[in-house]
A and B are shown apart, each in its own frame.
Chain A
Amino acid sequence: MSGPQHLLSIADLGPDGIAEVLRVAEAFAEVERRSMPKVPTLRGKVVATLFFEESTRTRLSFETAAKRLSADVLSLTVANSSVKKGESLRDTVETVEAMGIDALIIRHASSGAPHRVARWATRARVINAGDGWHEHPTQALLDCFTVRQVLAERKGAAPEELGIDCFEGLRVLIVGDIRHSRVARSEVLAYSALGARVTLAAPGSLLPPSLEGWPVEVAADFDTALAGADVVSLLRLQSERGSGSFVPSLREYTAGWGLTSRRVDLLGEDAIVTHPGPMVRGVEIASDVADLPRTVVTQQVTNGVAVRMAILFLLLGGEWSGEGWHG
């Protein structure tokens, strides 16, 4: 399979591409379980993380993934960089690329920034680690990976045996600040590409202004939607993007749209709850709900490393036809 050069959007992958990522990630999940979880696969490659917006888990996850593949990792913290002196994004990217970097992992507050960077880049592969309200493709991939892992575990099967058929007809309910969420956009694209039925549940003010062309339904009633869901994906209120002014108060938001201890009982016995983190306990999820076995946040974080290893490997090792390393 010849895949995309960059990972900017889930739309770059399509169902076959997603299936490929999940399959390769399964092999890396095995590497993660070893007592010595490191392989020499990307020795000699240099991966740079350019985070123009704060993040803990995504940056750490990408850096762990790159190190477990034996790539060298550089990280640009905007606070300590020339960006603070007024350097433009284009100049920053050109400077970093001139150092011979093989992959740029970029997070930016502006939607579309990684797309611009990919057009400027001459040899580096660009990975979108979250751009504005637009997309966060690796998060959606690791959510799919985690859901398949849970489904496989219940069947007593290996996840790779399930392929992507297990997503066919799966009822996924995405709840919360959809308007400002890049995770929601990537999840809608990923789950629907795999054949799942996606429903959105949010107050009207937190839905996007238009849902035209989105392969989704909007839940008429949150409690009914919860009862029919196989997967509930909770999102955080993006206070840094001004979500606070879209809801009357946090308490009202929780009362209307939080996964409270009462609502969790409406869920089917096998329903899975995911959250991209960071969770705000007591707002979108009650603290005791966050600690239930059906809430798979910790698995999501663990799987994030394997999925990002797969992305780095597919972009830097799987298809590229330049000079490789010689063992």
Chain B
Amino acid sequence: MAERERSHTRPLGGVFVAHSQVLSPADVQRALTRMSHEVVERNGGVEDVVLVGLQTGGVPLAARMSDMLGQIEGATLVVGCLDVAFYRDDIGLRPVLPEAVTTIPGDLTGKVVVLVDDVLFTGRTIRAALNALNDFGRARAVQLAVMIDRGHRELPIRPDYVGKNLPTRREEMVDVGDEGVWIGTLEHSR
């Protein structure tokens, strides 16, 4: 979401100006369907699978994946949401504030956690999320699902399930929302 991308990737706010559409809302839906089937295939079902959406962009995607996995497997999935602000490595370097309260359903020991986020960029959010997950128990495995992998990794992190690989320039921005996926730039008003 533009809002989140703004506050997490730039020290100062600005206005996201969309340039072109990368995925339509229907494309996003198809990608989520495929990714959900991949989660089932990889884990031989959804037993012990816990979806954890990252605040704020990953939370609605995790909820949608949970609905689909429910339809595919006929099971109700546990969904959590995680805010990684307290685990970030840039605290003190730029304003870092929690966006929402974390809700992790119970102990994760022995579970397969699928982290869900909208855009994978430097990998630092995921690094923080892995740290945070540790405090909720020892998951049997942690997997990563992202709608967009835009490259420019700064850490050795790779996704397990990808909606779309999207080559970008570093200064570009990717927005995932109800209107699908758009690529654009952040314009500073001043």
Query: Could you list which residues of chain A lie within 8 angstroms of chain B, going by C-beta atoms?
Result: 23-24, 26-27, 29-31, 34-36, 38-42, 69, 158, 160, 313, 316-327
Given A35-B107, A160-B101, A318-B97, A327:B87 Cβ within 8 A: yes
Complex contacts, B91 vs chain A, CB 8 Å: 41-42, 317, 324-325
Q: Looking at B89, B92, B95, B127, which has the most chain A CB atoms within 10 Å of its CB?
A: B92
Closest 5 CB pairs of A and B: A324-B92, A327-B89, A27-B98, A39-B86, A41-B86
Given A34-B136, A324-B91, A40:B101 Cβ within 8 A: no
Asked if residues A24 and B96 are in contact (CB atoms below 8 Å), the reply is no
Asked if residues A318 and B95 are in contact (CB atoms below 8 Å), the reply is yes
CA distance A320 to B91 in the complex (A): 8
Partner of A160, one of B89, B92, B100: B100
B1 contacts chain A at the CB level, 8 A cutoff = no
- Apart from A27-B101, A69-B86, 9 more pairs, CB < 8 Å: A30-B103, A35-B107, A40-B131, A158-B101, A320-B92, A321-B92, A324-B90, A327-B128, A327-B131
Q: 8 A–B contact pairs at CB < 8 A?
A: A27-B98, A29-B101, A30-B103, A36-B136, A323-B92, A324-B92, A325-B91, A327-B89
CA distance A97 to B22 in the complex (A): 54
Query: Could you list which residues of chain B lie within 8 angstroms of chain A, going by C-beta atoms?
Result: 83, 85-98, 100-103, 107, 127-128, 131-132, 135-136
Chain B's nearest CB lies how many Å from the CB of A163? Answer: 13
Chain B's nearest CB lies how many Å from the CB of A172? Answer: 26
Asked if residues B87 and A24 are in contact (CB atoms below 8 Å), the reply is no
Interface of A (DSSP majority class): loop
CA distance A30 to B102 in the complex (A): 7
| Chain B, Cβ-Cβ closest to A316 | B92
Asked if residues A30 and B97 are in contact (CB atoms below 8 Å), the reply is no
Complex contacts, A39 vs chain B, CB 8 Å: 86-87, 132, 135
| Chain A, Cβ-Cβ closest to B124 | A327
Partner of A321, one of B86, B88, B93, B98: B93
Asked if residues B89 and A27 are in contact (CB atoms below 8 Å), the reply is no
Partner of A325, one of B89, B98, B103, B128: B89
Given A24-B98, A30-B102, A30-B103, A324:B128 Cβ within 8 A: no
Partner of B135, one of A36, A316, A323: A36
Q: Looking at A24, A39, A327, which has the most chain B CB atoms within 10 Å of its CB?
A: A327
